[in-house]
Amino acid sequence: MPNKPLSPGAEHYDFILVGAGSASCLIASRLSQQLPDHQVLVLEAGEHIRDDPNVQTPGLQGRLLLNPAYDWQYSSVPEPGLNDRRVKHPRGKLVGGTSAINSHSVVFPNYEWHDRIAEELLSDSGREEWSSQGMRDCYKRWQAESSGPGVSNNEDSLDRVKTSFPRTIDVLQSKWTEAFEELGHATRTTGFTESSVGAVTVTNAVDSSKAERSHAATAFLEPALKRGNVILRTGVKVDKIAFDDALTADGKLNAKGIRYTYEGEEYTISAQEIILCAGVFESPAILERSGVGSKTVLAAANVPILYKLPGVGENLQDHLNCGLSCETHEDIPTRDEAMRDPEEPKAALLEYQQSRTGRMSEGAAYSFAFTPLQMLETASETHELIEAVNHCVEAESNPSLQAQYSVIQKAIESPKEATATTFMLRSQRHRDGEFMPKDTPSFVDGNYVTVVAMLAHPFSRGSCHISSDPSLQPDIKFNYLSHPLDTEILARHLRLIERLFQKPTFTAMAKPGGKRLPRSFPHPISSLEDAKGILPINSATNYHPCGTCSMMREELGGVVDERLRVYGTKNVRVCDASVLPVIPRGNILTAVYAFAEKAVEMICREAESGFSSD
């Protein structure tokens, strides 16, 4: 529960951060050090869960998702492209946000993605700062890789997430890199860099010195709370931003504070600046409840409109993935036994508790690969698909989508850039359970390796808007596979997985006559139509929603400008996954942290000369 607030209007802070997720924790940490004379309030709807083994133990990540103690349990509406399945979207219900419940893998965007966003979606004043070269330090600053080079003396006092590679490379992980070398692509280094093709072993957000999860709360907010100028208040769900009745001299809304209800009473806490970090679903909802958004959406919710900004809640994107599994020889160690034998997880947990070793001490996925379209097809087939993309971009009449599709088009045309990020799981995987008979067991006998293709830059777009009933969660529509190019590209990546399975490395590991998954199509893929048929019933989310408060020019449907300030406002920013205008190729958390680092740079520059409304 939160501390009992003072009387309405009695509290005042320099900054109020709404939400204590990944970006907010980092921003609070940096402000606490760089602006020690400024007071920062962090408001979080969840709780600060400390010293919880379920959160700390890397191998217990599965206990967190869909558990109401840790997860807000968002869900989409029925998705037509996925045979009307509702897709569950876990979001962290604790300080640290989703960084405290995710699956640890650290995958970076590429230089080209940043450069194209800066060049094609932002105004002139933001292009240099948001280019790849302008962002390089931001991607370095938030993490400390345990096996990497030491940080420089002037940065060694910064709070950082601890990342690490696997302690040992097992059989499947070593075979992963060999398989891509058989396709003619050498193993590459990981990190924020130019695009390259091939397999990589990535780090996970695991502190190897403790064998514990390293997340935003432990890395950033807890050290900040000890410095004395950051206050955390939990159990507080923000209703809306309170604006002055009068506009500023240049016609903008001036936020005077945050309004929330606690124990039946309404409170307003005032601040010089509001920074929304409430996440991809809640940041746009707060703006809409505050009167900033689409005229149609606000009218339906009976909210008076203060500033018409139709991009709020639009442009929702996510990484859709689909995987195939093949049965391996029994002597190849996988993690399938843990699914079938309840004693195995108990033994693994006991080993972890006694020595901090074993599978519970590491994340689930370290083996990734960046796979471009040119790896998938013959030259003529590649040309045909590129022509289809070109026609799509030229025919698009929506200026925002045309600009975004142009960014994606260039990635597709590049022989170096991933059209899917592919990764390996050392276990069987089932995503078609809803389409199997009710008595179908959850798991099948045997050991399996699963290869998953995650569509890097989907063309499909969805939305997230407040409901007419304020007590309900927002209406979330992803519209998965609503754009035909997503089906065309992702299906081709399933064919690439089949090619991997047919190469010597995988055939040597595969059990002769062994089973194939998904159970709804237990055969090798022999055609593009086979692959397309699997997608609606076996695709799943990578839990990477973003885009609902996009950083783009306002005429393109943007919600925040290149300083992350909400259009039409003087002193309201957004910084979380919602500001990513085009989803990056891999796990989005690295970009969220880097964007938060850039936000701090901007805020501190402005603070040195006083708050600015320019």
Query: In order of start, what are the domains of the chain with their CATH numbers?
Result: 12-50+58-164+213-317+547-608 (3.50.50.60), 171-210+320-460+483-541 (3.30.560.10)
Beta strands per DSSP E along 244-363:
255-262, 265-276, 292-293, 307-308, 314-316, 320-328
pLDDT above 90: residue 47: yes
Averaged confidence pLDDT in the chain: 93
Quote the pLDDT of residue 149: 46
Quote the pLDDT of residue 262: 74
Label residue 398 by pLDDT band (50, 70, 90): very high
DSSP secondary structure string for all residues of 389-447: HHHHHHH---HHHHHHHHHHHHHHH-SSS-SEEEEEESS-----GGGS-TT--SS-SSE
98 annotated ligand binder: yes
Query: For a pLDDT cut of 90, what percent of the chain falls above it?
Result: 84
Quote the pLDDT of residue 10: 61
pLDDT above 50: residue 6: no
Tell me if the bond preceding 304 is cis, omega within 30° of 0.
no
Quote the pLDDT of residue 2: 43
Distance CA 570, CA 254 (A): 5
In the block, tokens 């199509």 appear at: 521
pLDDT above 90: residue 397: yes
238 annotated ligand binder: yes
Quote the pLDDT of residue 130: 98
- 33: burial class by Cβ within 10 Å (0-12, 13-18, 19+)? middle
Quote the pLDDT of residue 156: 65
Question: Which is it for strands 88-89 and 74-75: parallel, antiparallel or unpaired?
Answer: antiparallel
Quote the pLDDT of residue 155: 56
The CA–CA distances, whole Å, from 177 to 366, 419, 505 equal 11, 19, 10
Label residue 151 by pLDDT band (50, 70, 90): very low
Quote the pLDDT of residue 502: 93
Query: For a pLDDT cut of 70, what percent of the chain falls above it?
Result: 96
Amino acid identity of residue 278, one-letter, is A
Which range, of 125-139, 215-229, 369-383, 394-408, averages the lowest pLDDT?
369-383
Quote the pLDDT of residue 611: 55
Distance CA 571, CA 613 (A): 7
Which range, of 382-391, 485-494, 536-545, averages the lowest pLDDT?
382-391
Label residue 4 by pLDDT band (50, 70, 90): very low
pLDDT digits (tens, 9 = 90+) for 465-521: 998 887 789 999 999 999 999 999 999 999 999 999 999 999 999 999 999 999 999
Distance CA 38, CA 18 (A): 17
Label residue 293 by pLDDT band (50, 70, 90): very high
Distance CA 103, CA 544 (A): 12
pLDDT above 70: residue 5: no
Of the two residues 5 and 575, the one the predictor is more confident about is 575
125 Cβ contact list (under 8 Å, min separation 6): 562
pLDDT above 90: residue 189: no
Quote the pLDDT of residue 147: 62
Quote the pLDDT of residue 136: 97
pLDDT digits (tens, 9 = 90+) for 241-261: 999 999 999 999 999 999 987
Please give the model's pTM, rounded to 2 decimal places: 0.96
In Å, the largest CA–CA distance within the chain is 76
Quote the pLDDT of residue 153: 43
Residue 574: which H helix or E strand, with range? strand 572-574
Average confidence (pLDDT) over 341-361: 94
